[in-house]
Amino acid sequence: MSTTLKRVKCNAKQLNIITTLFNCKAVCKYIATKMANSKYEYVRHFEKHDSCLPNCWIIVRVDGKAFHRFADAHAFTKPNDVNGIKLMTRCAHNVMTEFTEMVLAYGQSDEYSFVFKKETQAYKRRESKLMTNVASLFASSYVFHWPEFFPNVKLLYPPSFDGRVVIYPSDQNLRDYLSWRQADCHINNLYNTAFWALVQEGGLSNKEAQTRLSGTFSSNKNEILFSEFGINYNQEPEILKKGTILLRKEIAEEVTITDHKTKEPKSVTKVRKKIEAVNCDLIGDTFWVEHPYLLNTVGTC
């Protein structure tokens, strides 16, 4: 709980007394910032309060801006450039390392979703701060780590990523959000796999391939891939079909330390958290049963 002090005026002696009594940094800082600048300072009051509703999951999703053009400009492999996907995950890893209150991230194509635990107080839950810090760190990481994944490709221009905050009240809502993104990954990847098979191996123009696939169902696309190109879609790599999940796993490690008393080396088990990437289904229950701690964060309410 907090209260608001208005129009406090005091002399230096009074200030000394109050700060001694209360050790109250807020008051000191308040006095200290009463500067010449104050004439213009009213403009601060035009800023909005934008804290997320408490007791809700906070998701920040980033999306590459105009990544079709970016992929073409840098000659990304079609339909999927695995190096591009791995670079995305490298950036997400950076973000999760920075924001320790994220429990999970999910990425596919040119997007990544980051899940903050319900009770997070990161940036006082302020939307602007959360989405801009995540999006900007993701983008700067993309340029920073580019040479590791594309050692022979010159980065032509810096990319940008838009970001948004969405909040979800219940665990079921959160799961449905992630299922939505993973279903989207599947739908798009199946389409793209069929499309590029028709173009690259089937010799169709882009337009012709589009027409061929228009109105087809998943089963039709599977059939086209199998009968015309010998591709069993189910055997495609999981990273393409499922996208990538980043989680913090608890790793038990044997480490050797020096015993306090005996001064002898001894072996102990230490648990530390490590961010790990997996490419599995998260729509069914199995994933959530195997990682019960993901939804089990203890909230304030």
CB 211 to a copy of itself: min, Å: 13
- Report the C-alpha gap between 252 and 273 in whole angstroms: 9
CB 129 to a copy of itself: min, Å: 5
Q: Is residue 283 within 8 Å of 179, Cβ to Cβ?
A: yes
Q: Which parts of 49-68 interact with a copy of itself (CB under 8 A)?
A: 49, 53-56, 62, 65
Q: Determine which residue in the list 69, 164, 273, 274 makes contact with a copy of itself, applying CB under 8 A.
A: 164
Q: Does 219 bind a copy of itself (CB under 8 A)?
A: no
Q: Does 129 bind a copy of itself (CB under 8 A)?
A: yes
**Closer to a copy of itself at the Cβ: 30 or 255?**
30
**Closer to a copy of itself at the Cβ: 37 or 227?**
37
Cα 49 to its chain centre, rounded Å, is: 23
Q: Does 148 bind a copy of itself (CB under 8 A)?
A: no
Q: Does 114 bind a copy of itself (CB under 8 A)?
A: no
Q: Is residue 94 within 8 Å of 275, Cβ to Cβ?
A: no
Q: Does 162 bind a copy of itself (CB under 8 A)?
A: yes
Q: Which parts of 170-209 interact with a copy of itself (CB under 8 A)?
A: 170, 172-173, 176-177, 179-180, 183-184, 187
Q: How many residues bind a copy of itself (CB under 8 A)?
A: 88
The DSSP secondary-structure symbol of 44 reads: G
CB 69 to a copy of itself: min, Å: 13
**Closer to a copy of itself at the Cβ: 80 or 94?**
94
DSSP three-state, residue 241: helix
CB 74 to a copy of itself: min, Å: 13
Q: Is residue 221 within 8 Å of 190, Cβ to Cβ?
A: yes
DSSP string, 196-221: HIIIIIT---HHHHHHHHTT--HHHH
Instruction: Select from 147, 70, 145 the least CA-distant residue to 110.
Output: 70
DSSP string, 125-192: GBHHHHHHHHHHHHHHHHHHHHHHH-TTS---S---EEEEEEEESSHHHHHHHHHHHHHHHHHHHHHH
Question: Between vectors from CA 107 to CA 102 and to CA 110, what angle results, nearest 5°?
Answer: 125
Q: Which parts of 7-36 interact with a copy of itself (CB under 8 A)?
A: 8, 10, 12, 14, 17-18, 21-22, 24, 26-27, 29-30, 34-36
Q: Determine which residue in the list 73, 122, 166, 204 makes contact with a copy of itself, applying CB under 8 A.
A: 166
